[in-house]
Amino acid sequence: MTPTIEPTVFVLDDDAESRNSLVQLLSSSDFTVRAFESPSRFLHEVPPDQPGCLVLDLCMPEMNGTEVQRHMLDRGQIMPTVIVTAYGTVQTTVLAMKQGAMDVIEKPYDPNMMVKCVHGLLAVANRKAQDETADDAIRQKFDRLTPREREVFDQMVKGQSSKETALNLGICFRTAQLHRERVFRKLEIDSPVELVSIAAVVGRQSA
């Protein structure tokens, strides 16, 4: 069984006073916190699949917050993010939101508001992690299917009957039925309706 990795609140802010103050606030609220001064170090050390959320300062000399967001998106790193800034404008807010930020908080911020915001970000991160775990379980079940059973699976997703499957694959009717039964058993499902959602997870086409 894969060990559970506790979601982390990442703080990325080049200003030491601001960064340390935020770390103290979040740590005192029982969050697991990891802080970075450098955007490049954050991008290098935090893998794309790391569970957690990000409190991201907008104005940094090495790379601003929206540039960090763009780098994260380019490598498929989808992490719930709040932008923190003392120089927010409508334009920067819109850009940050377009690139995936869930909120923009202006400095000086209310500590209770920040803690509440981070709770919300982690709730989203936890749901994302649960969905990914469920998808992994589906893929593991699908991997049990033989090549022939996968062909039958594809026929079932397209709504083909046992008779149609037999004709399309050049097998006898009873063999097609047996393969369908094995597909249901190995995927641990009872209804053909469930096949479509499984097909979406494993990347099989339904048409």
Per domain, the residue ranges of the chain are 8-137, 144-202
**Residue 108 φ/ψ, nearest 5 degrees:** -75, 140
CATH code of domain 8-137: 3.40.50.2300
Cβ of 24: how many Cβ atoms within 10 Å?
Answer: 11
The half-sphere exposure of 69 on its side-chain side, counting CA atoms within 13 A, is 22
For domain 144-202, give its CATH number from 1.10.10.10, 2.60.40.10, 3.40.50.300, 1.10.150.120.
1.10.10.10
- Of 53, 50, 14, 7, give the one whose Cα is nearest residue 32: 7
Residue whose entry in the numeric block shows the structure tokens 């079932």:
156
**Residue 67 φ/ψ, nearest 5 degrees:** -70, -40
CB contact set of 59 (below 8 Å; sequence gap of 6+): 65, 85, 86, 87
How far is the CA of 71 from the CAs of 59, 123, 147, in angstroms? 16, 24, 38
Do strands 33-36 and 101-106 pair parallel, antiparallel, or not at all (unpaired)?
unpaired
Contacts 24+ apart (CB under 8 A), 27-35: 29/115, 29/118, 31/118, 31/122, 32/6, 32/7, 32/8, 33/8, 33/9, 34/8, 34/9, 34/10, 35/10, 35/11
What per-residue confidence (pLDDT) applies to 197? 86
Cα distance between residue 69 and residue 83, in whole Å: 10
DSSP H helices, 99-157, are: 111-142, 147-157
User: Tens-of-pLDDT digits for all 207 residues of the chain?
Assistant: 344 557 899 999 999 999 999 999 999 999 999 999 999 999 999 999 899 999 999 999 899 999 999 999 999 898 999 999 887 667 777 888 888 889 999 889 999 999 999 999 999 998 888 888 888 899 999 999 999 999 999 999 999 999 999 999 999 999 999 999 999 999 999 888 889 889 988 886 444
Cα distance between residue 102 and residue 109, in whole Å: 16
30: left (phi over 0), alpha (psi -120 to 50) or beta: left
CB contact set of 39 (below 8 Å; sequence gap of 6+): 12, 60, 62, 63, 67, 68, 71
Domains 8-137 and 144-202 share a fold: no
What per-residue confidence (pLDDT) applies to 1? 39
Is the whole model's pTM more than 0.85, yes or no?
Answer: no
